Amino acid sequence: MAEGLEEWINDSNEVLNLQLVRTPLDTDLLQRQEEQLVEEFNPTFTYPIFGDSEKVFGYKDLDIKLRFASGSLRQYLEIKYNEKLSSETTPADDIEATLYKFIPPDYTKSGVEFKLRVAEDAEKFKPLGEKLDSYIQPSLKGKGKRGDRTTELGNKEDAVLFEIYKANWNTPGFREYHRRMQLFILLFIEGGSYVHEDEDAWEFITLYERRQRPETGVYTHHFVGYISVYPFWCYPDRVRLRLSQFVVLPPYQHQGHGSKLYSALFQHMLARPEVAELTVEDPAEAFEDLRDRNDLRFLVKEGILDNPMLLVGIGDGKRDSRNEWERSIRKKYKIAQRQFDRLLEMLLLRQLNNKDPAQIKAYRLHVKARLYRFNYEMLCQMTPGERKEALAKTYQSVVEDYERILDMTFG
């Protein structure tokens, strides 16, 4: 970069400001603790749009506002700056042309038109597809704790209902709707990319907040996040469902919605006889933690800790009966092999008597045997001494991570 031009460089993660917009009436219904739902937030990543450097060149005091109607996700673009570089040799970036490649062409640059769209969509927009599940959270003005459940779903005007829907390309209107929401994949998932619409089998699970306007029968819906999954053929006549994308928008994060969304997918998958198992494509660490916590709670709820087979064949090499039990449980709950192995190891660690050397040794041998099988190609190239040291280090790292996850899950 030529000398003196640094002042024209902007961090695209900081200058791109996103916002989920409600009508003034619906915004006024929010409690003070809920104001973050309509405040601006920034993307985590912008390199798919603005390049690896995540910079926008040629402007001073740049502010790129990309606003979404909170339910329909129809978009409004506003680009503001105090000064734009006028140079033929080093021209300013064409921001709108860059964004145009990634957002639907029906966005507006008129604030008046956008307000009218928001008002219209607030009453007319309804989630697309088939409803899978719902759950309720008290409004933050109430005395109930966040996440408490009630049987009076939707009957209290101060309650907030969340609804989960499933859709695919055949769902009327969903293809167009997906083109609006898919931008969040680029902005919040590292390495995320758009799915190909010509791949017909994609399935989507979407999550919405539903609010009732006081003393009316009007319900408004507000987008929270979504999952995309793809079914692959699994011999001989079933499918393996692969979770490809998972996003909950920042205003709704750290409130339990990710777990609700994942659990809805998991239960939906269990209810489908053609699905053999659920796998995950290149999970981020935060999602892996969420998945682990929910899978662990599920297995505990199913009573696996009370099953005497949980402790059979640990560390003694006699695994025939245990292998058969593990296969039957894994098949029943449709959990991928490596994930299932990890879950059982975590639950065994939770049950471990740290004052019993024999139990500790048996557990260590059990985990190391699995690690050896998983890393066989790398370990077989080492000397016995190197292999022993590598397994010991890996085992220690794995156990420390298990303890972290167990503490998050069960306290």
According to DSSP, residue 308 is labeled: G
* Long-range CB contacts for residues 144-147, cutoff 8 Å, separation at least 24: 146/255, 146/256, 147/255, 147/256
Q: Which residue has the higher pLDDT, 126 or 379?
A: 126
Burial class of residue 182 (count of CB atoms within 10 Å of its CB; 0-12, 13-18, 19+):
buried
Q: How many CB atoms lie within 10 A of CB 361?
A: 11
Mean pLDDT of the chain: 93
Q: How confident is the model at residue 143 (pLDDT cuts 50, 70, 90)?
A: very low
Closest CA to 227 of 254, 267, 198, 272: 267
Report the Cα 138 to chain-centroid distance in Å. 23
Give residue 138's pLDDT. 75
pLDDT over threshold 80, residue 266 = yes
Give residue 319's pLDDT. 80
Q: How many CB atoms lie within 10 A of CB 97?
A: 8
| Rounded Cα distance, 315 and 305, in Å | 18
Q: Which residue has the higher pLDDT, 158 or 315?
A: 315
pLDDT over threshold 80, residue 11 = yes
| Rounded Cα distance, 230 and 373, in Å | 28
Give residue 158's pLDDT. 64
Q: Write out the H or E segment, with its range, that includes residue 228.
A: strand 219-234
- Summarised one tens digit per residue, pLDDT across range 336-355 is 999 999 999 999 999 999 99
Give residue 3's pLDDT. 56
Q: How confident is the model at residue 320 (pLDDT cuts 50, 70, 90)?
A: confident
Give residue 159's pLDDT. 74
Catalytic residue status for 281: yes
Give residue 156's pLDDT. 57
- Summarised one tens digit per residue, pLDDT across range 43-89 is 999 999 999 999 999 999 999 999 999 999 999 999 999 999 998 88
pLDDT above 90 as % of the chain? 85
- Summarised one tens digit per residue, pLDDT across range 343-389 is 999 999 999 999 999 999 999 999 999 999 999 889 888 998 999 99
Supply the Cα-derived Rg of the chain in whole angstroms: 25
pLDDT over threshold 50, residue 169 = yes
Give residue 154's pLDDT. 44
pLDDT over threshold 60, residue 150 = no
Q: How confident is the model at residue 313 (pLDDT cuts 50, 70, 90)?
A: confident
- Summarised one tens digit per residue, pLDDT across range 208-235 is 999 999 989 899 999 999 999 999 999 9
The residue-averaged pLDDT of 168-172 equals 98
Q: Which residue has the higher pLDDT, 316 or 64?
A: 64
Q: Which of 83, 130, 157, 281 is catalytic?
A: 281
According to DSSP, residue 55 is labeled: E
Give residue 323's pLDDT. 92
pLDDT above 70 as % of the chain? 94
pLDDT over threshold 50, residue 109 = yes
The residue-averaged pLDDT of 134-157 equals 55
- Summarised one tens digit per residue, pLDDT across range 32-41 is 999 999 999 9
DSSP collapsed to 3 states, 75-98: EEEEEECCEECCCCCCCCCCHHHH
Give residue 317's pLDDT. 66
User: CA quadruple 110, 111, 112, 115: dihedral positive or negative?
Assistant: positive
| Rounded Cα distance, 372 and 369, in Å | 5
Tokens of 381: 């190239």
End-to-end CA distance of the chain: 52
